[in-house]
Amino acid sequence: MSLRSYILTRIILALPMIFILLVVIFFLLRIIPGDPVLAILGGKAPLEVIEQKRHEMGLDKPIMVQFFDYLKDVFTGNLGTSTLTNRPVIEELKDRFPATLELTIFAFIIALLIGLFWGAESAWRKDEPLDIGARVYSVLLYSVPVFWFGLILQLIFASYLRWLPVGGRIPAVTSFEVRTGLYVLDAIMSGDWKGLLDVLRYLALPSITLGMVTSSIFLRMVRNNTVLILSKDLVKAARARGLKKRVVLYGHAVKNAFVPIFTIIGMQFASLLAGAILTETTFSWPGIGSYLVMKIRYRDFPAIQGTIIFFGLFIVVISIIIDIVNALVDPRVRY
């Protein structure tokens, strides 16, 4: 099977999954307490105003009619209009997605670097202080809620030391041209180094928070799998040829240790997104996560549904990319 048809198959297989997600979120939203009309108008609005608004929003139709209307819209690529802002949900998601992407990419890089190097070195020095430190670190950070950890970092680095901003993404107006929406990239493309530093200062705390929490899982996986591989003959054989530690550890042990890790890395990315929702809220990061939380507060059904579907699609895309990278690392993988 070629790569192209593999990707196509994966996307087709993802469609039923997205559909189920859509059904669940649609009905779940209508089961939980809270009325979108009241959330917008407030409890003291006159009854006829409420009824009129309900009619405008189409919420007076039978629920199945609402559902099929929505389904029709989704399959024609229309995620509806936000009941709160009256803007198309797709537009709003487009505006906010780069912020989330930037945050998750940096968090992912931080998690990967900590997990990879600390995990590999711990495995090499099993049961030595570095390894014990890694185990304590990963248990602590795995059990700490991400928002609490974020608050603590805020308290230390923003409130006491005043090294970094408490939250937000950029002071006010960007000093560089926004092309991709990924400010780090935009600043580099404009050659605006002062702007880049500013962007990084805002990005630092949220991405470190999310990255460190995610790294706890990576660290454990890399360490445990590498310990397993290090006990195998291929490592002894590599050493028996006189190879240096760097080659033995990273070129042979970690490379093989990553094979099983790749299969669960996609799922880890899903939990990274879940963490992003909390991180964004903690740091007022204007991404999709904080958007979702705000929309839930106002019972903005189309926006919530749209965001969830978007998350679903995003995870599908990421897991396909990870599968492709996996195939590059492990030649045994066939599509």
Partner 1 sequence: MAKNEGEAVLRAENLKIHYKTKKSYVKAVDGIDLTLRKGETIGIVGESGCGKSTFGQGILKLLPQKTKYYGKLLVRDVDVTPLRENDMRKVRGKVVGMIFQDPMTSLNPITKVEKLFYETLEEHNPGISFNESREVTAQILQKVGIEPRRMREYPFQFSGGMRQRVMIALALVLNPDIIVADEPTTSLDVIVQAQILNLLDELRQSYNASIILITHDLGVVAEMADRIAVMYAGHIVEQNEKEKIYYEPKHPYTKLLLKSIPNTNPKDLELTFIPGSPPSLVNPPIGCRFASRCPYKMSICDEKEPPVVEIDGGMVKCWLYTQGSDNQ
Interface positions with partner 1 (CB under 8 A) = 232-234, 236-245, 247, 251-252, 255-256, 259, 329-332
Nearer to partner 1, 77 or 331 (CB): 331
Helices (H), 231-254: 233-240, 245-246
Angle at 32 between CA 28 and CA 37, to 5 degrees: 105
CB of 113 to partner 1, least distance (A): 22
CB of 319 to partner 1, least distance (A): 21
Nearer to partner 1, 49 or 234 (CB): 234
Integer Cα distance of 60 and 253 in angstroms = 62
CB of 252 to partner 1, least distance (A): 5
CB of 108 to partner 1, least distance (A): 23
Residue 198 exposed, middle or buried by CB count within 10 Å (0-12, 13-18, 19+): buried
For residue 41, which amino acid is it? L
Distances (CA, A) of 178 to 175, 186, 334: 9, 6, 40
Distances (CA, A) of 51 to 33, 37, 45, 80: 18, 9, 10, 21
Q: Which residues contact 44 (CB under 8 A, 6 or more apart)?
A: none
Nearer to partner 1, 14 or 227 (CB): 227
Identify which of 218, 238, 241 has the alpha carbon closest to the alpha carbon of residue 230.
238
Q: Are 212 and 115 in contact (CB under 8 A)?
A: no
Nearer to partner 1, 204 or 248 (CB): 248
Residue 135 exposed, middle or buried by CB count within 10 Å (0-12, 13-18, 19+): middle
Nearer to partner 1, 53 or 223 (CB): 223
Give the count of beta carbons closer than 10 Å to the beta carbon of residue 6.
16
CB of 292 to partner 1, least distance (A): 40
Nearer to partner 1, 179 or 244 (CB): 244
Identify which of 73, 17, 74 has the alpha carbon closest to the alpha carbon of residue 270.
17
Nearer to partner 1, 10 or 239 (CB): 239
CB of 116 to partner 1, least distance (A): 17
Q: Are 13 and 326 in contact (CB under 8 A)?
A: no
Nearer to partner 1, 13 or 329 (CB): 329
Integer Cα distance of 289 and 285 in angstroms = 8
CB of 268 to partner 1, least distance (A): 22
DSSP character at residue 261: H
CB of 145 to partner 1, least distance (A): 37
